[in-house]
Amino acid sequence: MALLAQQRLTASARAGRPSRSRVVCPAIRAEGGKVKIGINGFGRIGRLVMRATMLRPDIEVVAINDPFIDSEYMAYMFKYDSVHKVWPGKVEGSAEGFFVEGRKVHTFTETDPTKIDWASAGADIVVESTGVFTTIDKAALHQKGGAKKVIISAPSNDAPMYVMGVNHEKYDPAKDHIISNASCTTNCLAPLAKVVNEKFGIKEGLMTTVHASTATQKTVDGPSRKDWRGGRAVNGNIIPSSTGAAKAVGKVLPELKGKLTGMAFRVPTNDVSVVDLTITLEKATTYEEIMAALKSASENELKGVMAYTTDDVVSSDFITDPASCT
């Protein structure tokens, strides 16, 4: 990978699904030291949030709301996953409820967030993963049911946005009761941009994401009024699309506001996306110096958020990888 005269760099990074984005976990702990959370929307993100929490002894899902599936179907969808495979533990669903590893999880089937009794279930924090209630006012409806904090698992126009490894230290538990975890693309792009900007300075940049298919796409051509190309069949096309990730980076890294722009291509793969970042740098440098900076960050301040490899890998090698950026 060569640098041009204007100190232009092209770097690639791996973006996970939105459901695998790391979340800022507000400091609320119930008796026993566990963070008690509820999940609104048991789709791709909701189910994978629960899978992730099952690997964390300090977090427990105590309630799930989804108006479109009952407990039996909920158990089936959680246990069997085409991408992340069969859940190895014990999962049961019946008229008596939804049970994971022998523990009953409260379930609701409400379309109105104000009718979800999060308090009775013991849920202090709600993961809002429907993709519908993404503004402060809409997400605040969960607080009427007893939630103390709400994490929106998508970009938001007005909620404070936090990305792990980038600006999570600015989270203020005293006033930040509703926050956004941004998008999967932003969680990949922001750590990369942060390291490069701190070490070498970014004048301007263009981001292109080659993005795996999502739940809103169609298996055959169908109507999509907002984005006509988005209505085309997912399996037979590379579909140009818009992305707000570059703009979102300016929210979590104010020093880069207005410096990055971007576009997306949706491709027919089930999981794992790529961010290609082309930038003009402030300082003269070499490819080796940039890679050394990224490797150092992955082993130190961004360990667990950013990973580094020189292996000849492909996208499927990163399925279920917890890192936001590789």
Binding-site residue numbers for NAD(+) are 44-45, 66, 153
- Binding site as annotated, residues: 44-45, 66, 153, 183-185, 214, 243-244, 266
Say how far apart CA 310 and CA 163 lie, in whole Å. Answer: 25
DSSP 36: E
Q: At what angle do helices 71-79 and 44-54 cross, to 10 degrees?
A: 70
The active-site residue, picked from 25, 184, 188, 325, is 184
Say how far apart CA 92 and CA 47 lie, in whole Å. Answer: 15
Look up tokens 């020093």; give the residue: 255
Here the tokens at position 153 are 């698992």
DSSP 66: -
Q: How many CB atoms lie within 10 A of CB 236?
A: 11
Q: Which residues contact 144 (CB under 8 A, 6 or more apart)?
A: 113, 114
Say how far apart CA 125 and CA 49 lie, in whole Å. Answer: 13
In what side-by-side order are the strands of the sheet with 59-65? 91-94, 97-100, 103-108, 59-65, 35-40, 125-128, 149-152, 178-180
Say how far apart CA 34 and CA 30 lie, in whole Å. Answer: 6
What does the chain come to in residues? 326
Say how far apart CA 113 and CA 48 lie, in whole Å. Answer: 21
Q: Which residues contact 175 (CB under 8 A, 6 or more apart)?
A: none
> For residues 17 and 84, is the Cβ–Cβ distance under 8 A?
no
- Helix (H) or strand (E) holding 53, with range, is helix 44-54
Q: Is the dihedral of CA 159, 165, 166, 172 positive or negative?
A: positive
> Catalytic residue at 325?
no
Catalytic positions, please? 184
